[in-house]
Amino acid sequence: MSHFFDVLSAPAPPATPTPLPVFPTAFAQAGSILYTIREGDSCDSILTFQMYMGNAGEIFSDVKPQTVQALNTAMGQNCHAIQPGMVVSLSPHYPLTAFGGIVHRIEAATPQQVLPTPLIPVPDQEPSTVNCSRGCLLTVELAPQVNIHLVVKTTLSIRIGSWVWAQAMMPRKAIQGFDNYPYVDPQTPLAEQSFKACDLQVDNVHDDNSLSCDQLAPNTIDIDGGSWLLGVTGSGGLDHWGYHYPKPLPPNTQVLLWLSTVHGNLEFKPGNPVYVYNQATHLYKRL
């Protein structure tokens, strides 16, 4: 009987840590796809049919000349003077990315917010968790010496050392007078940039109530019926989501793929386009 009470009163064994995935050696990379103009093409039709951009004519409009000028720069041609045989550069609009990483810092998402974190760490106890239901700014390590900032809003508890999986909106290039400019600057390094998270998982728990990606503004996911996603293959990257590509891809392959909206969720469907990044040309080529 005394042994029975000894067992009940003994401290619970520490949780077995989950082995962390292998960090990738490459990262999501913005880039372009080359397209040769055909008879009857216009910039609007090219974006609609090649890039699934359903409201291209609204985002880039002659009513706002600065938007058309920005498109001309992005495509490398004057949209009012294109001819068959010309080559244009096409970029994914409002792209998402997907990654995993270790949380190294947790801060309030806004200056007015106060997080209930202990001032003095208590030794020999599990790291304290933080309530991020009103929003937190996480510093996440994607690879050694490579950190990004991730804005999350979740009821899941997060602690220093948690591994998070997230899909997130890529930060876009700032264009004066064009707040909803849809493209990422391929010259801007990933490190230290800020991302807004959707489809969040903390350690082994998925947040079924986290923001969906079509709730991150601006985006055209509902209009387009899906979204472009930039990522890297491997256990620390896209393999977590279980995408099945037309051909096997080795780890650390930088890819661009189209996710379709299925019952409100973004899914990779057989036949969806997949592009692989070429480091030499800085272009994506269809797999």
User: What does pTM read for this prediction?
Assistant: 0.86
Which residue, 9, 13, 10, 91, is CA-closest to 46? 91
* pLDDT averaged over every residue in the chain: 87
Tally the residues of the chain: 287
The pLDDT of 196-219, averaged and rounded, is 93
Question: Mind listing the pLDDT tens digit for each residue in 239-276?
Answer: 999 988 889 999 999 999 999 999 989 999 999 999 99
pLDDT of residue 145: 87
pLDDT of the residue at 189? 86
Q: Is 170:190 a contact under the CB 8 Å cutoff?
A: no
Quick one: pLDDT band at residue 14, thresholds 50, 70, 90? very low
DSSP string, 199-231: EEEETTEE-TTSPPGGGSSS--HHHHTEEEEEE
b/e burial code for range 16-46 (CB count within 10 A of at least 16 → b): eeeeebebbebbbbbbbbebebeeebebbeb
**Residue-wise DSSP of 5-56:** HHHHHSPPPPPPPPPPPPPPSS-----BEEEE--TT--HHHHHHHHS--TTH
Please state which of the ranges 97-101, 129-133, 173-177, 220-224 shows the lowest mean pLDDT: 129-133
Cβ within 8 Å of residue 6, ≥6 positions away: none
Query: Is 80 exceeded by the pLDDT of residue 196?
Result: yes
Question: Span 78-95, mean pLDDT?
Answer: 97
Section 139-152 average pLDDT: 94
Tokens 């509902």 belong to residue: 222
